[in-house]
Amino acid sequence: MAFASTITERSIFGNKAFSWGTFTNASGDTGGDIDTGLTTCEAIFLQAGGSSVIATAATVNETLPVAGSAVTIVTDDNEDGTWFAFGNR
């Protein structure tokens, strides 16, 4: 299994769209593209999951704002977590 992301919820607040979900990495994977479901992603927040300490925080490897269909993130090997993004629908 490779890097994967899912959208678990979406919402609209005023003129901004919000979406959030999860990301998973298989052993040997260190990130990939999150499809936020937004046309433009203005900000995305990443939170590592699990019960162990990670060596390096997950980071966004983009200059925001960016097309929301492919927001590239970099993670530690095999790191899973959650994400929250907002921007335009």
DSSP 30-78: -EEEE--S-SEEEEEEEEE-SSS--SS--EE-S-SSEETT-EEEE--TT
Confidence bin at 26 (pLDDT 50/70/90): confident
pLDDT for residue 43 is more than 90: yes
Alpha-carbon span 60 to 22, nearest angstrom: 15
Name the pTM for this structure. Answer: 0.91
Q: Would you say residue 59 has pLDDT above 80?
A: yes
Enumerate the β-bridge partners of residue 74: 31, 59
Band of the pLDDT at 16, cuts 50, 70, 90?
very high
pLDDT reading at 80 higher than 80: yes
Say what the pLDDT of residue 1 is: 60
* Residue 78 banded pLDDT, cuts 50, 70, 90: confident
